[in-house]
C-alpha cells in the first residue's frame, strides 16, 4: 500500500515539473517576442544604425577607405576607396588587400616620385611641376594608376541615428542629418543641414550666407571641421627620397629679413627658438612654394583636381610657447584678401588684435589686459567666418568683423593668404601647426545654384544640404532632377530635401571601422575605441 502511494506521488511531481518547464518555455518565448517587438519599435521610431557608404562627408564621416600613415613624416590620414576604379560593383568592400591609388600626405606633401601604370606599363618620372601633384590617370591609356603598395580596405563608419526627432523639434543648421534622397527615395543620404525653410542661401568664397549674412558654425562643429595644412611635429625622415609637392622637402617656415628665428635646430627639428633683443621683432613666414598650399584639397579624394581647387583663406595657427623671462612678445599674423590681422601677447600682460590694410596703415581692433602671464602656455589665432579669435592659455579675445559679404574687405578669391609668426625676447615654440577651415565649393556653371549671383530661396518645408567633402559630394548644389513625391503630391523641387523625407539626426559613431586581429582575417572585429565619438551639429546659439 505504501509503495502505491509512493509511486503516485512521484508521478504527480513529474507532471508538476513538466508543467513548470512548459510554463518557463512559454514565458521565455513571450519575453523573446516582447523583446523583438520592442527592438523593432525602437529601430523604427527611436534609433537605428547606419553604415556610411561613401566619402561625401569626409573627414567628419568616412565611407570605405584606406587607413594610411605617411611613410615619411608618420602623419595618419585616410584615402577613399572607390570600387569603380577596381572594376567592382558600387558599395563593395574587398575582404583582402587592394592596390593603393596615388595619394598626397596632407601634412608634408609627400607622394611617390616614380609611378608605373599597371595596364600599359608606362612609367611617369613625376608630377607636372606647375600643378605640384601627379595625375592619378595614366597619360597614355587614361586608366587609374596604382602604386606598388597593397593595403587592406577599412569599412565605412557605422553611426547611430536618432529618428523621428524632427517631428518634435525643428532641425537646426549644421546638424548632420539622414534623409531619403529626393530623386531616389529608396536610398538614404547623409549630409550637413545648411538652409532652413524660408531662407536665402548663398555659397560665397567657401562660406555660407543666409539672407545675406554669414552663417557661423558652433564652436564644437568648427573644431571638427579644421583640416591640416602643416604640423611641424611630423617631419620626413628621408627628405631627399621622395617628391614633396614636386621637390625635395625643406622647412616651410622661412625667416623674413634679418629675423633671428632658428627653425632648423639639429637637436630637435620640431622646435623653433628665438634669441632676440627685447623690442626687436623677428618674423618668420610660411612658404607655400615649399609646403602644402591653402587650396581646399582633401587627402581623402583623388589628386587629379588639386590644381583647380579654390584657395581657402580662413585659417588657424596654434603652438605652445615657453619664455625665458617675463619680457618680450609672441604673436601670429594671418592675412585675408588685402588685409593682415595680427594678434599678440605682450609678456608684460596685454593681449592685442590689430589690422594692417593694403596701404600699410596699422590700427588696433581690441585689447585685453592685464592678463596673467605664465612661463609657458598654448597660443592660438584663427580668422574664421568673419571673426578673429585669439587664445592665450585660458584667456580668449575676439573681434567681430561683421556679417555682411564684404565686411572682411572686397572678396579677392585669387589672393593667397599669408601666415606669419613673430616675437621678441628669448622664446621656444613647440607643436606648431596650421589648419584651414572647411571650404564649400561653388557649383559648376550648369547648376549655378546657391551662388553669389544666383541665391537659392527655400520655400515652406524645404531644406538645403551640403556634404563636408564639398569637391566630392553629390548634394543640393548638383541635383538636376525633381524629387519623387509621395502622398500623391507634385514633384519636389530640385535641390531641396522636403520635410517628409527627413529620417533623423546623426548622433554617434559607434563603430569607426575596426581593426583586424591578423592580416588575413576577413573583417575588422577589434573596435577602434579611440575614434568612437559624438557627431556635433547645430545649437541654440547657432545662426
Residue 215: predicted pLDDT: 97
242 SS3 class:
coil
Among 206, 210, 180, CA closest to 194? 210
490 SS3 class:
coil
Q: 161 pLDDT band (50/70/90 cuts)? A: very high
Q: 102 pLDDT band (50/70/90 cuts)? A: confident
Structural domains for the chain: 158-223+441-534 (2.10.109.10), 253-286+313-436 (2.60.120.560)
Q: Which residue has the cell 575614434?
A: 531
Model confidence pLDDT, tens digit, residues 275-321: 999 889 999 999 999 999 999 999 999 888 888 999 999 999 999 99
| Contacts for 100 with CB less than 8 Å, ≥ 6 apart | 66, 68, 79, 146, 147, 149, 150, 151
Residue 318: predicted pLDDT: 98
Q: Count Cβ atoms below 10 Å from residue 440 Cβ, excluding itself.
A: 25
Q: Taking residues 205-212, what's their average pLDDT? A: 97
Q: Which residues of 492-520 are buried (b: 16+ CB within 10 A; e: fewer)?
A: bbbbbbbbbbbbbbbbbbebbbbeeeeee
DSSP-derived secondary structure for 404-473: STTTTSS--TTSPP-EEEEEEEEEEEEEEEEEE---BPPPPTTT--SBSSS-EE--TTEEEEE-SSGGG-
Residue 133: predicted pLDDT: 60
Q: Is 150 exposed, middle or buried (0-12, 13-18, 19+ CB in 10 A)?
A: exposed
Residue 146: predicted pLDDT: 76
Max mean pLDDT range (78-92, 109-123, 421-435, 529-543) = 421-435
* pLDDT at residue 49 is higher than 70: yes
Residue 515: predicted pLDDT: 82
359 SS3 class:
coil
* pLDDT at residue 27 is higher than 90: no
Residue 69: predicted pLDDT: 95
* pLDDT at residue 46 is higher than 70: no
Residue 125: predicted pLDDT: 53
Q: What is the pTM of this model?
A: 0.89
Q: Taking residues 167-191, what's their average pLDDT? A: 94
* pLDDT at residue 441 is higher than 90: yes
Residue 333: predicted pLDDT: 98
Residue 33: predicted pLDDT: 60
Residue 292: predicted pLDDT: 95
Residue 485: predicted pLDDT: 84
Model confidence pLDDT, tens digit, residues 143-153: 777 777 888 89
Residue 127: predicted pLDDT: 47
* pLDDT at residue 541 is higher than 60: no
Model confidence pLDDT, tens digit, residues 335-375: 999 999 999 999 888 999 999 988 889 999 999 988 988 88
Mean pLDDT, the chain, whole residue set = 87
Model confidence pLDDT, tens digit, residues 243-286: 898 888 999 999 999 999 999 887 899 999 999 998 899 999 99
* pLDDT at residue 31 is higher than 80: no
133-137-140 Cα angle (round to 5)? 115
Residue 3: predicted pLDDT: 46
Amino acid at each position: 500500500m505504501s509503495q502505491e502511494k509512493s509511486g503516485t506521488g512521484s508521478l504527480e511531481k513529474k507532471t508538476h515539473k513538466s508543467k513548470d518547464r512548459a510554463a518557463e518555455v512559454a514565458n521565455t518565448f513571450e519575453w523573446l517576442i516582447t523583446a523583438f517587438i520592442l527592438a523593432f519599435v525602437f529601430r523604427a521610431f527611436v534609433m537605428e544604425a547606419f553604415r556610411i557608404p561613401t566619402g561625401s562627408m569626409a573627414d567628419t564621416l568616412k565611407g570605405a577607405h584606406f587607413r594610411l600613415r605617411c611613410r615619411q613624416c608618420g602623419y595618419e590620414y585616410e584615402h577613399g576607396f572607390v570600387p569603380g576604379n577596381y572594376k567592382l560593383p558600387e558599395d563593395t568592400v574587398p575582404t583582402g588587400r587592394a592596390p593603393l591609388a596615388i595619394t598626397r600626405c596632407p601634412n608634408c606633401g609627400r607622394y611617390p616620385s616614380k609611378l608605373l601604370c599597371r595596364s600599359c606599363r608606362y612609367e611617369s618620372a613625376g608630377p607636372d611641376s606647375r600643378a605640384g601633384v601627379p595625375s592619378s590617370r595614366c597619360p597614355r591609356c587614361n586608366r587609374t594608376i596604382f602604386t606598388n603598395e597593397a593595403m587592406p580596405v577599412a569599412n565605412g563608419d557605422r553611426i547611430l541615428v536618432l529618428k523621428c526627432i524632427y517631428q518634435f523639434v525643428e532641425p537646426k543648421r549644421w546638424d548632420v542629418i539622414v534623409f531619403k534622397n529626393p530623386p531616389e527615395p529608396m536610398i538614404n543620404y547623409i549630409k550637413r543641414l545648411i538652409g532652413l525653410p524660408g531662407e536665402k542661401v548663398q555659397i560665397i568664397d567657401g562660406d555660407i550666407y543666409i539672407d545675406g549674412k554669414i552663417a557661423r558654425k558652433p564652436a564644437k562643429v568648427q573644431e571638427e571641421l579644421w583640416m591640416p595644412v602643416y604640423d611641424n611635429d611630423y617631419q620626413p625622415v628621408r627628405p631627399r627620397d621622395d617628391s614633396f609637392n614636386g621637390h625635395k622637402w625643406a622647412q616651410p617656415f622661412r625667416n623674413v629679413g634679418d629675423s633671428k628665428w632658428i627653425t632648423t635646430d639639429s637637436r630637435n627639428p620640431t622646435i623653433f627658438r628665438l634669441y632676440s633683443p627685447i623690442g626687436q621683432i623677428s618674423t618668420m613666414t610660411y612658404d607655400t612654394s615649399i609646403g602644402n598650399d591653402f587650396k581646399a584639397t582633401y587627402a581623402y579624394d583623388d589628386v587629379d583636381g588639386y590644381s583647380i581647387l579654390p584657395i581657402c583663406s580662413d585659417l588657424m595657427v596654434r603652438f605652445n610657447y615657453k619664455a625665458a623671462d617675463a619680457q618680450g612678445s609672441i604673436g601670429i599674423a594671418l592675412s585675408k584678401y588685402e588685409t593682415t590681422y595680427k594678434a599678440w601677447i605682450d609678456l608684460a600682460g596685454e593681449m592685442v588684435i590689430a589690422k594692417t590694410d593694403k596701404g600699410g596703415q596699422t590700427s588696433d581692433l581690441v585689447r585685453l589686459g592685464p592678463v596673467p602671464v605664465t612661463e609657458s602656455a598654448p597660443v592660438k589665432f584663427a580668422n574664421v567666418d568673419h571673426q578673429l579669435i585669439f587664445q592665450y592659455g585660458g584667456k580668449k579675445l575676439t573681434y567681430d568683423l561683421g556679417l555682411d559679404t564684404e565686411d572682411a574687405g572686397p572678396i579677392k578669391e585669387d589672393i593667397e593668404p599669408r601666415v606669419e609668426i613673430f616675437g621678441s625676447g628669448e622664446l621656444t615654440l613647440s607643436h606648431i601647426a596650421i589648419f584651414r577651415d572647411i571650404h564649400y565649393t561653388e557649383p559648376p556653371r550648369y547648376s549655378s545654384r546657391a551662388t553669389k549671383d544666383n541665391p537659392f530661396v527655400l520655400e515652406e518645408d524645404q531644406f538645403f544640404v551640403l556634404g563636408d567633402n564639398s569637391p566630392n559630394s553629390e548634394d543640393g548644389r548638383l541635383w538636376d532632377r525633381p524629387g519623387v513625391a509621395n502622398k500623391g503630391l507634385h514633384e519636389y523641387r530640385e535641390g531641396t530635401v522636403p520635410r517628409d523625407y527627413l529620417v533623423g539626426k546623426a548622433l554617434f559613431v559607434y563603430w569607426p571601422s575596426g581593426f583586424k586581429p591578423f592580416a588575413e582575417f576577413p573583417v575588422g572585429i577589434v573596435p577602434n575605441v579611440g575614434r568612437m565619438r559624438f557627431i556635433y551639429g547645430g545649437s541654440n546659439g547657432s545662426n
